[in-house]
Copies of this chain bind each other. A is one copy, B any other.
């Protein structure tokens, strides 16, 4: 069942005017007499005329919509980022079209194909944990398509980016060291992601700064970003099978943090008595856990806002931008009782 809307043509016909007069009257052009304007405007209002954005898009070669690709919407971090994106986009008159990669490279490529062509004016993306080949993105970027990365960014593409620094992981690790934990495990996202490297780096820096020896056996990676519980389970199994078991765990993504909690609970491993846990998380419920969970919180909403401002700058700039910026934002370390 199609929904037939009113067009300029309808108004013109009804009023015995030409479409161009109506068009100009609606846009309050100086060339149209006040009388005509009033007649047109009144009638347009009466029949609830709305310009067809698709026709406008075709004409202006811009859709006023931006695409967003994240791994999962139902993840507190990403939903908060989307919230930030949506707030800026809405204010500036843009639609937000959201796609989920579900941590699948293949799906990410499909999403991009779907969003690209010209139905979106630009893209905000946090790449999937599986993504190693960037051709789908470089191909667009090289042709001048505006792309902004956030969270899981890539080095190979020169554009605006929004990330958090490695200080979050460093602070969390330092905190654990100060609390006298000696064998601090680190469970992170896929190895290929820059964000993983950055968080591992923060972790290593803290160890080094505090004179602790790095034990590579204490670092575990989740190739699917912790999307499947089993990979976190496997990682923890391995850690607990070590001769020298960890006495604390730093988990560096929302999803992995939740899985760690689930793992400990299932095995009746007590936090912080049996093991300490600090995790990256943006869930509002972490403070209500028992014990309340120490976390590293990312400024998700602000990251979404920043990414969108960057993207709209790229989209609306008259001339190609070559001077790109990477906005590095601070995380917030919230100490609660899961780390004694």
A interface, CB within 8 angstroms of B = 1-5, 48, 50-55, 57-58, 61-63, 65, 72-76, 79-80, 82-83, 86, 90, 95-100, 113-114, 116-119, 121, 139, 143-146, 258, 261-262, 265, 283-291, 314-315, 317-321
Please give the distance in Å from A58's CB to the nearest CB on chain B: 5
Determine whether the beta carbon of A83 is less than 8 Å from that of B73: yes
Q: In the complex, A217→B255 CA distance in Å?
A: 41
Q: In the complex, A16→B30 CA distance in Å?
A: 44
Copies in the assembly, this chain? 2
A52's closest neighbor in chain B, by CB? B118
Determine whether the beta carbon of B95 is less than 8 Å from that of A119: yes
Point out which of A73, A291, A320 has the most chain B C-beta atoms below 10 A from its C-beta: A73
Determine whether the beta carbon of A79 is less than 8 Å from that of B73: yes
Determine whether the beta carbon of B54 is less than 8 Å from that of A119: yes
Q: In the complex, A258→B61 CA distance in Å?
A: 45
Q: In the complex, A287→B261 CA distance in Å?
A: 10
Determine whether the beta carbon of A86 is less than 8 Å from that of B98: yes
Determine whether the beta carbon of A1 is less than 8 Å from that of B86: no
Write out the residue numbers on chain B whose beta carbons fall within 8 Å of the beta carbon of A262.
287-288
Q: In the complex, A20→B287 CA distance in Å?
A: 63
Q: In the complex, A321→B90 CA distance in Å?
A: 33
Determine whether the beta carbon of B146 is less than 8 Å from that of A3: yes
14 more CB-based (< 8 A) A-B contacts, given A1-B315, A54-B119: A1-B146, A1-B317, A1-B319, A3-B121, A5-B118, A50-B117, A52-B58, A52-B117, A53-B119, A54-B63, A73-B82, A90-B99, A97-B97, A285-B286
Determine whether the beta carbon of B73 is less than 8 Å from that of A144: no
Write out the residue numbers on chain B whose beta carbons fall within 8 Å of the beta carbon of A53.
117-119
Find A50's partner among B86, B100, B116, B284 (CB 8 Å cutoff): B116
Q: In the complex, A73→B69 CA distance in Å?
A: 15
Write out the residue numbers on chain B whose beta carbons fall within 8 Å of the beta carbon of A90.
99, 114
